[in-house]
Amino acid sequence: MYILRLGLGLVRRVAKRRNDIALYADELGKGFVGELDYTLEASNASIFLEAHSQYSFMVVPKVFKELTTKRVLTMEWLVGENPTKLLSVTKELPTNSTSSMITNADYLGEKLQVEAKDHLLDLVNKGVRASLVQLLETGLLHADPHPGNLRYTPDGRIGFLDFGLLCKMEKKHQVAMLASIVHIANADWAGLISDLTHMDMVPPGTNLRRVTLELEDALGEVAFDEGIPDVKFSKVLANVWSVALKHHFRMPPYYTLVLRSLASLEGLAVAVDENFKTFQAAYPFVVRKLLYDNSLATRKILYSVVLNRRRELQLKKVLLFLRLGSTRKSIGVADWSERTNRREIGDAGEFQTAKLILNLLPSRDGVVLRRLLMTADGASLAGAMLCKETVFFRQFLVSVFADSICQWLMKTTIGKEGTRQLTRETTSQVQAIITDRRVRVVLFKVVRDVSRQPFLALRSACCLLKIFVVALARALHRFVVQLSEGYLPSFSMAPRQIVGTT
C-alpha cells in the first residue's frame, strides 16, 4: 500500500491533477484488510443485515460468529440463482433451432428461457430498489456490488454476498444524491452541478457555469415517456464521468459504488430487454421518498421541482409525483417495457391518484402534501383543479359525493344502507377530510387566495356547484333504483305457456 501511494502521488504530479488520488490507495487498503480478516467481514455482514432487516425484498445470510475466526467464515447457505447464469440461460438456443421440428426438449428450453428472463428482470428491478435503499435510506452501501455477489432466491428476493468492505455515507451526501437523481430526471444540469458541489466532488475555483454548459451540450434535453425520464443511465454516467475527469473532480467511494452498481444492473437488463432504463425503475422510489419524507432537506427538493419561483404549482409534475406515489409497490420492469401494460397502469393510475389525495390529506403521512398546499399559491391550485388534466379528480369527487348522499338517503328513509359504488373506506375518508382541522386550514388559505381574483372565484364556485348537482342527480337515481329493487316485485316479460289437456 505504501508503494502504491508513492506511485499514485507520482502519477498525480505527472498528470497535474489537483485532487489527491493517493486516497484511493487507502480505500483499496481497507478492502484488503477486510478480505484478509474474516471476523471483520462477519461483523460487516451482521451490520448490513441489521440495517436492512425491515426491507423484505432483500436477504442477507446469517453469520455464525461462534464458528467464525480470522481465517474461517461460517455463514448461512444462501440458495439462489446467479445473475450471470440466468443471463446465459436466456441466450441459449434450442437444440433444433435450425430445424422446423419442435421437440419436447425445445419447448422446455424455451420455457426455461422465459422463466430465466423474468427472474433476471425481477432481480434487476429489486437490485435498483436495493441500491436506492442503501443510498437514500440507510446510508450503508455494499462495497462490491457486482453480479457475482448477488443471488435471486426461490421466493423472489435479492440476496447479497461478500461483505469484506462496507461504505458509510454522510446524511448531507444522501440528500445531495437524492437531489441529483431528481435534477437528472428533469434535465436540470445547473442543479446537478450544485448537487455535486454539496457532495464535495467539485474542487474549489472550478468554473461552474462552464461545467454546466458542457453537460448541457453532452446530454441535452431529456425526453419523457409516460412522465418517466426516457434516458439511459449509462449515457448519463459516461458524460458525467468524462466531465468529472476533465475538470479534476474528486470521486468519493460511495458515488463510484452506486454508479457501478446501477450501471452493471442496467447492463444485465438491457441484455434481455433493450427497452429497459434504470430511471423507470428508480424514479418511482425517489418520488415516494419526496412525498413521504417530512425533513426540511427533502421538502426543499420537492418544492424546487413542483413549484416555480412565484410558488405556482407546475401541474404536470405534481400529477406525475402523485401518480408514482400512489404505486406503493414498485412497478415491475417487464410492465414498463410493454406499451399495452403501460396504458392499463395509466388508466388505473388516475383512480389511484385521486384516492391517494384523499388518503394523504387527513393522515399523518400527508404532512408533506399539506405543507406543499400551504406553501403553494392557492389561486394556482384552484386553476389546476379547473383544467382538463384534472377532470379525473372532479369525476372522482362526483362519485364520492353521490355515494355519500345515497347512503344518507337510504339510512334516513328506510333505516339501512344501500349498496355502495365505492368502498366504505372511501366515504369514511371523505368524512375524515371534512372534519379534519388541518385540512380546513388548507382550504381556508386556498379560498382566501382565490377570493383576490373574482373571475377565478366565480369559475371555482360554478365548478363546485356543477359537481354537487351532478352528484345529487346520481345519488337520487341510485336511491330510486335501490328502492325499486327492494320493494317492487320482479316481473317476467316472457309469455306464459298454457298447456291444455283433452
Model confidence over 110-139: pLDDT tens digits?
A: 888 889 899 999 999 899 899 899 989 999
Q: Assess whether pLDDT exceeds 60 at residue 147.
A: yes
Query: Is residue 62 a part of any domain in this protein?
Result: yes
C-alpha cell at 283: 424514479
- Residue ending a domain, among 110, 133, 167, is 167
Burial class (CB in 10 A: 0-12, 13-18, 19+), 500: exposed
How many distinct structural domains can be found in the chain? 3
> What pLDDT sits at residue 58?
95
Per-residue confidence (pLDDT) for residue 120, from 0 to 100: 92
* Beta strands 166-168; 224-225: pairing state: unpaired
Pairing verdict, β 224-225 and 228-229: antiparallel
Assess whether 383 and 417 both reside in one domain. Answer: yes
* pTM reported for the whole predicted model: 0.74
Same structural domain, 234 and 277: yes
Boundary of a domain, candidates 105, 137, 167: 167
In the structure, what pLDDT confidence band is assigned to residue 417 with cuts at 50, 70 and 90?
A: low
Same domain, 153 and 285: no
How long a stretch of residues is the chain? 502
- Does 495 fall in a domain? no
Which of 343, 376, 409 is the endpoint of a domain?
376
Are 211 and 332 in the same domain?
Answer: yes
User: Above pLDDT 90, what percent of the chain?
Assistant: 27
Residue 425: per-residue pLDDT:
60
Residues 334 and 276 in one domain: yes
Q: Would 137 be classed as within a structural domain?
A: yes
321 or 175, greater pLDDT: 175
pLDDT at 340: 32
C-alpha cell at 23: 486516497
Do the domain assignments include residue 25? no
293 and 153 within one domain: no
Structural domain boundaries, residue 472: 379-483
On whether both 181 and 158 belong to a single domain, the answer is no
* DSSP string for residues in 394-419: HHHHHHHHHHHHHHHHHHHHTSS---
Task: Classify residue 438: in a domain, yes or no.
Answer: yes
Domain assignment present for 2 = no
Residue range 277-305: average pLDDT?
A: 86
| Same domain for 246 and 121 | no
Same domain, 91 and 240: no
User: Residue 60: what pLDDT?
Assistant: 94
Distance, CA of 287 to CA of 494 (rounded, Å): 58
Residue 227 lies in a domain: yes
DSSP secondary structure of 54-123: T-TTEE-PPB-GGG--SS---B-----B-HHHHHHHHHPPPTTTTSS---HHHHHHHHHHHHHHHHHHHH
Q: Count the neighbouring beta carbons within 10 Å of the beta carbon of residue 236.
A: 23
Judgement on whether residues 340 and 210 belong to the same structural domain of the protein: yes
Give per-residue pLDDT as tens, 374-393.
Answer: 999 999 999 988 988 888 88
Q: Which of 234, 199, 239 is nearest to 216 (CA)?
A: 239
User: In the numeric block, which cell numbers belong to residue 447?
Assistant: 379560498
pLDDT band at residue 343 using 50, 70 and 90 as cut-offs: very low
The partner residues of 205 in beta bridges, in order of sequence, read none
Provide the angle, in degrees to the nearest 10, between the axes of the packed helices 233-246 and 253-272.
150
pLDDT surpasses 80 at 203 = yes
Residues 349 and 429 in one domain: no
| 286: in domain | yes
The mean per-residue pLDDT over the stretch 80-101 comes to 72
- In the chain, the percentage of residues whose pLDDT exceeds 70 is 76
**Same domain for 151 and 218?**
no
Q: Whole-angstrom Cα distance, residue 338 to residue 7?
A: 51
